[in-house]
Amino acid sequence: MLQVEHLSYDVQEEGRQAEILSDVSFSVKDGEMLVITGPNGGGKSTLAKILMGINQPMSGRIVLNGTDITNMPIDERAKAGIGFAFQQPPRFKGMTVRRLLHLAAGRGLSEDECCDLLSSVGLCAVEYIDRDADATLSGGEMKRIEIATVLAKHHDICIFDEPEAGIDLWSFSMLIKRFEQIHKDKKESLILISHQERIIQMADRIMVISDGKVESVGETAAIMPQLFSGNEGVCACRQQKGGGLCGVE
């Protein structure tokens, strides 16, 4: 179980303190899928980076399975059971996709295991396994490889920041199936940050973050209608910050 209590995060902007997250509290139960959505610039990726230990909060507490991990460095959080896929994955010059998968798994993987992982994100191992995971890969290819690195190992909780971004329709369907399987197995909790209706509707619970605050959080059946009120599948949370969240406020 993940418990997040009263997180706040500020940055220095033009010599003054700007608040990015304020008093963010929520929890994720074992095996639960929480989807975080909300307007661009609301603070979702910042929150994900704080959970992974990339950013350090000004105040608040993060507790994973009863252990306070607030001050734990990134590598220890990974060992404690958190997996993370960035909204914009980093590139690794001079490192092959195969090596990246081995490192992510924390052990040597067989050819078949690498192939299965790449197939699960719609990539053909023959074409990609010996390529460098660098800037020569397209955005969608790198995004899918990064997702495969998170899937390479069991985590107690996996955080995927906009897994749909830049991914084609065919690979997206495969990815959805993979998330559904993880969710069904209940062996890992999932935090999916997304604007995509198909992802949002899979959630057990939805949390809307807007302007650095938890705008609403609740069961999917209760929050969904507020998000998609008459916009034919276009999430109201995509509206401009300050434009208000349709029906959520």
Ligand X SMILES: Nc1ncnc2c1ncn2[C@@H]1O[C@H](COP(=O)(O)OP(=O)(O)OP(=O)(O)O)[C@@H](O)[C@H]1O
Binding partner of 20, given Mg ion, ligand X, none, CB within 5-8 angstroms per partner class: ligand X
Size, binding site for Mg ion by CB under 5 A? 3
- The residues near 218 (Cβ < 8 Å, ≥ 6 apart) are 205, 206
Q: Which is nearer to ligand X, 194 or 226 (by Cβ)? A: 194
Segment 34 to 53, residues that bind Mg ion, using CB under 5 A = 44-45
Q: Does 196 bind Mg ion (CB under 5 A)?
A: no
- In whole angstroms, how close is the CB of 107 to ligand X at the nearest point? 32
- In whole angstroms, how close is the CB of 15 to ligand X at the nearest point? 12
- In whole angstroms, how close is the CB of 6 to ligand X at the nearest point? 18
Q: Which is nearer to Mg ion, 64 or 159 (by Cβ)? A: 159
Helix, strand, coil share (%) of the chain residues, nearest 5: 35, 25, 40
Residues in the site for ligand X, rule: CB under 6 A? 11, 13, 20, 40-46, 87
> d(Cα 228, Cα 235) in Å, to the nearest integer?
5
Contact 223, 236 (CB under 8 A): no
- In whole angstroms, how close is the CB of 150 to ligand X at the nearest point? 18
Binding partner of 40, given Mg ion, ligand X, none, CB within 5-8 angstroms per partner class: ligand X
Q: Which is nearer to ligand X, 55 or 96 (by Cβ)? A: 55
* Burial bucket for residue 198 (CB in 10 Å: 0-12, 13-18, 19+): middle
- Going by the DSSP 8-state scheme, the letter that residue 220 receives in this structure is H
Q: Which is nearer to Mg ion, 44 or 77 (by Cβ)? A: 44
Residue 151 C-alpha from the chain's centroid:
12
Q: What Rg, from alpha-carbon coordinates, does the chain have?
A: 18
Element of type H or E holding 6: strand 2-13
Q: Which is nearer to ligand X, 42 or 81 (by Cβ)? A: 42
- In whole angstroms, how close is the CB of 236 to ligand X at the nearest point? 13
Contact 160, 147 (CB under 8 A): yes
Segment 70 to 89, residues that bind Mg ion, using CB under 5 A = 87
Q: Which is nearer to ligand X, 27 or 87 (by Cβ)? A: 87
Q: Does 55 bind Mg ion (CB under 5 A)?
A: no
- In whole angstroms, how close is the CB of 102 to ligand X at the nearest point? 30
> d(Cα 31, Cα 204) in Å, to the nearest integer?
10
| Residue showing tokens 């009863």 | 66
